[in-house]
Chains A and B, each alone.
Chain A
Amino acid sequence: MAVTMVKKQAGLTGNSAVAYAMKQINPDVCAAYPITPSTQIMEDFSSYVADGKVDTELITAESEHSAMSACIGASAAGARVMTATSSQGLALMWEMLYIASGLRLPIVLANVNRALSAPINIHCDHSDSMGARDSGWIQIYSETVQEAYDNLFQAVRIAESEKVLLPVMVCLDGFITSHAIENISLLEDAEVSQFVGGYKAQHPMLDTDNPVTYGAMTLPDSYIIFKHQQSEAIGRAKDVVVEVGKEFGNRFGREYGLMEKYRLDDADVAIVILSSAAGTTKVAVDELRAKGKKVGLLRPRLFRPFPFKEIADALKSIKAVACLDRVDSFSGFGSPLFNEIRSTLYEFEKRPKVINKIFGLGGRDYKVKDAVGVFEELLKIAETGKVETLIKYITL
């Protein structure tokens, strides 16, 4: 459902909120292909295009492969470009994800997290975006509809920052966030245009007086130099995320950082978890705190680049930490959050015990009692110093 009235508050699904944010950003080009559960984003957005509410050129491509290719072409030409997808759609964009980041094109993609086939499943887990975690895209994970909406504006600023110039993926949980209606605060159109500003590409292909080439052949003498520059750029993105989140907070009263800490400062044990499942975990934290147990939560918002220093600082004095991954990095040593966090904490002489739980694949419910169960196990580890099982599936 397209939002036709601008109010300060509106009940919107995650998808409608993302589409509305895109409308307010008014990008030059969107290219997309339908896929559950992100379809509604482009469906709403196509209404804004049809009704003349935006100046965007909408390309209804014949596949996600073509959609991302069109985004790359448009971005290289100098346009501000956005798109949305999920799951297999992101998987079909894979080849181009690396092109977008390698060509340093500030495309913004809303990824509505959904499990990858097979077997086929349309519900939430993070196997799609986590598979793309090394593709050179900045990844921001949103807990709520409000955050997904707010993240879109920040993503544009982060992507287009001269210090960065990289594509950004804003993730929100399929169905749980994309289809749930939440009462959110909307920004005024003028506030959005002031915040995101106009976009002037530094090296547009359409500037025919200053011809440039994108993606030219690089042999062993030069390829690694480009990749090194790209690596430095994504590293710089961390500070830009903080700056942009702060400015957003100053202007609109909702500040965002690299992570959210919930009752963590004096905690003995903590769960680290991404996106909407953090909400469920917070309920468990409150329940156990009421019983005097010192438990807390850390929700990374920025996953790529991984803010290892800040996360290590937040966790180093905790006794036991459980990383809850909504994805299995098959036959790896645990899943992505666990990998990053355990590796990060290795620097410290005295470091927490870290365990990994794989949960909620393909939309399996993750309940308060599941979080409580993990906290109880952590409290036992904190007490005895002994870990029984390092990596384990829960919610089975």
Chain B
Amino acid sequence: MSTQAATASVPYKEKKPFDYTSYMRKGKLPHIWCPGCGHGVVMKSLLRAIHATGIDQDNIAMVSGIGCSSRTPGYLDFNTLHTLHGRAIAYATGLKLAKPKLKVIVTTGDGDALAIGGNHFIHACRRNMDMVILVYNNYIYGMTSGQSSPTTPQNMIATTARYGSIEPTFDTCDLAKAAGATFVARGTAYHCQELEKTLYEAIMHKGMAVVDILDSCPTYYGRFNKFKSASEMMEKIEKDGTISVAQAAKMTPEQLQGKLVRGVIHKAERAEYCEEYEKLMEKAQGK
């Protein structure tokens, strides 16, 4: 059993325009995402990143749970598995162990990954299995009409928090890093070219790669919180609310107050789970 992930070792280089639909199930279109939702932007960025890696689409497995983000694999022509709310990472773990050569990408949301699936999320990070987890973070449960999630900022309105959420939030990146993920990054739908590069690096990384992708839900989060438009949300939250790793390095903690850092936040080398598993099998079999 080889544990080598099917990654190409070429450095990131923007590829010439290509036909997105070659990676898509055209019959599944139009998609269900609302006007102004950034999920489509994220999906296209992901396709550009995958295209840049040169990995054959048959060697990619995409797994999702339930929610708006989890509809992504339905539109894409890879090996795809649409599972249960919160359980995508657990399914993906089994899939990767059975077929370690496949590049496994999980598309999930803030509710799916951090609330109902929070336990799977932290334990997957701890194991450092070769996998990519993309958290489409729109601070709300979009599909069920806008309940507060673990990333709904304090004082912001949600269906289940009519006068503002009082719960402290999770920082996806802090959580992933603390739990042991070896590649932790943040991107936004607004900075889609930068996101493409980040996603490329995440896919090429060997080990658990978590990317927190800030995205907007104008239909619920936007309307509840008096954003005038989807573009205003993108500007205020994704553009003005974030700062790149390089810029952040020059700023004081006071200056960084209220900003989220964008780019590759943490990268480390640590034994990858499937390789460790293979070594153990060899030892147990006296090879």
**Residues in B117-138 with C-beta less than 8 Å from chain A:** 118
Inter-chain contact B147/A60, CB cutoff 8 Å: yes
| Contact bitstring A33-51, B, C-beta under 8 A = 1, else 0 | 1111001101100110011
**Residues in A42-89 with C-beta less than 8 Å from chain B:** 42-43, 46-47, 50-51, 58, 60, 62-65, 88
Inter-chain contact B150/A39, CB cutoff 8 Å: no
Inter-chain contact B118/A58, CB cutoff 8 Å: no
**A46-B159, A47-B162, A117-B84 known; A63-B141 Cβ under 8 A:** no
| B contacts with A: majority SS | loop
B47 CB, nearest partner CB in chain A, Å = 23
A36 to B116 CA separation, bound complex (whole angstroms): 15
Chain A residues with Cβ below 8 Å from B143 are 36
B250 CB, nearest partner CB in chain A, Å = 37
Inter-chain contact B115/A88, CB cutoff 8 Å: no
Inter-chain contact A36/B160, CB cutoff 8 Å: no
Chain A CB within 8 A of B82 CB: yes
Chain A CB within 8 A of B144 CB: yes
Chain B CB within 8 A of A290 CB: no
**Residues in B66-89 with C-beta less than 8 Å from chain A:** 66, 82, 84-86
A88 to B161 CA separation, bound complex (whole angstroms): 24
**A42-B160, A46-B160 known; A62-B118 Cβ under 8 A:** yes
A120 to B73 CA separation, bound complex (whole angstroms): 14
User: Chain B: how many interface residues by the 8 Å CB criterion?
Assistant: 20
**A36-B144, A39-B145, A43-B145 known; A63-B115 Cβ under 8 A:** yes
Inter-chain contact A34/B144, CB cutoff 8 Å: yes
Inter-chain contact A39/B144, CB cutoff 8 Å: yes
Chain A residues with Cβ below 8 Å from B148 are 60
A43 to B115 CA separation, bound complex (whole angstroms): 18
**A34-B141, A39-B145 known; A50-B162 Cβ under 8 A:** yes
Chain B residues with Cβ below 8 Å from A117 are 84
Chain A CB within 8 A of B18 CB: no
B160 CB, nearest partner CB in chain A, Å = 4
Candidates B144, B150, B162; contact of A35 at CB < 8 Å: B144
Inter-chain contact A88/B84, CB cutoff 8 Å: yes
B118 CB, nearest partner CB in chain A, Å = 6
B281 CB, nearest partner CB in chain A, Å = 31
Chain B residues with Cβ below 8 Å from A40 are 145
Candidates B82, B115, B159, B162; contact of A51 at CB < 8 Å: B162
- Leading 5 A-B pairs by shortest Cβ distance: A50-B162, A34-B144, A63-B116, A62-B115, A39-B144
